[in-house]
Amino acid sequence: MAQRVAVVTGGMGGIGEAICMRLAKAGHQVVATYSPGNTRAGQWVNDMKARGCECNTVQVDVTDFDSCQKAVAKIQSEAGPIDILVNNAGITRDATFMKMGKSDWDAVLRTNLDSVFNMTKPACNGMVDRGWGRIINISSINGQKGQFGQTNYSAAKAGMHGFTKALAQEVARKGVTVNTISPGYIGTKMVLAVPKEIMDTKIIPQIPVGRLGKPEEVAALVAYLCTEEAAFITGANIAINGGQHMY
């Protein structure tokens, strides 16, 4: 596999970190983005190196278009043209709609959906010009089926796939694929922090395979979509949820 420059937003934790590791081990030059105020970027790079993965980082506010343009320009000047973009950055601000404030809505839409435009816009044209590219948007099972208390999150994650389907049609003939991955419950630190009783009685029983997913399983799917063999897959929304939601 040819070495490509791969950018993973929100790449320093959970699923994002697993994606960075898998792409680095596949031989790609990986750059993880981190948000302003995050002070552990240097330590993270050292930790990844100790685990056998060479990764770089760049600071960016994914909610801000100018910040994304500057970050992409920095990556391209230091690492080279971006071939792979994984839009993984995301947050939650959960509340029922009756109690949800405008700030909760705005924060989630800007981080989870606006960020996809903000990062893809400055990276996509180069992919089209070079005739090769992979754009992968990390959505969620809750963007497919909805979730109580997550009108903001579900709307943003569903919007990611609408973006995927439209852009995929525009760039397909230029060798650029655009796909969405929708994970279900994955065993990240955030999910594993759920009390055991709730996990055992409310969450696991909903999953036919009887367990949480692994970040590495999502990362393996991302890595496959970045290969030459996946060139005929575009505009797809691939569920990876253990059978929890079938459609």
- pLDDT, tens digit, for every residue of 64-118? 999 999 999 999 999 999 999 999 999 999 999 999 999 999 999 999 999 999 9
The reply to whether 95 falls in a domain is yes
> What is the reported pTM?
0.96
The reply to whether 236 falls in a domain is yes
The reply to whether 9 falls in a domain is yes
The answer for residues whose C-beta is within 8 angstroms of residue 62's C-beta and 6 or more apart is: 9, 10, 33, 35, 68, 89, 111, 114, 115, 118, 119
* Domain containing residue 173: 5-186+214-240
CATH at 40: 3.40.50.720
Of 83-92, 184-193, 217-226, the one with minimum mean pLDDT is 184-193
Residues designated as active site: 153
C-alpha distances out from residue 78 to 63, 75, 121, Å: 23, 5, 19
Tell me the two tokens of residue 69: 């343009």
Task: Report the alpha-carbon distance of residue 31 to residue 5 in Å, rounded.
Answer: 8
The reply to whether 68 falls in a domain is yes
Number of domains in the chain: 1
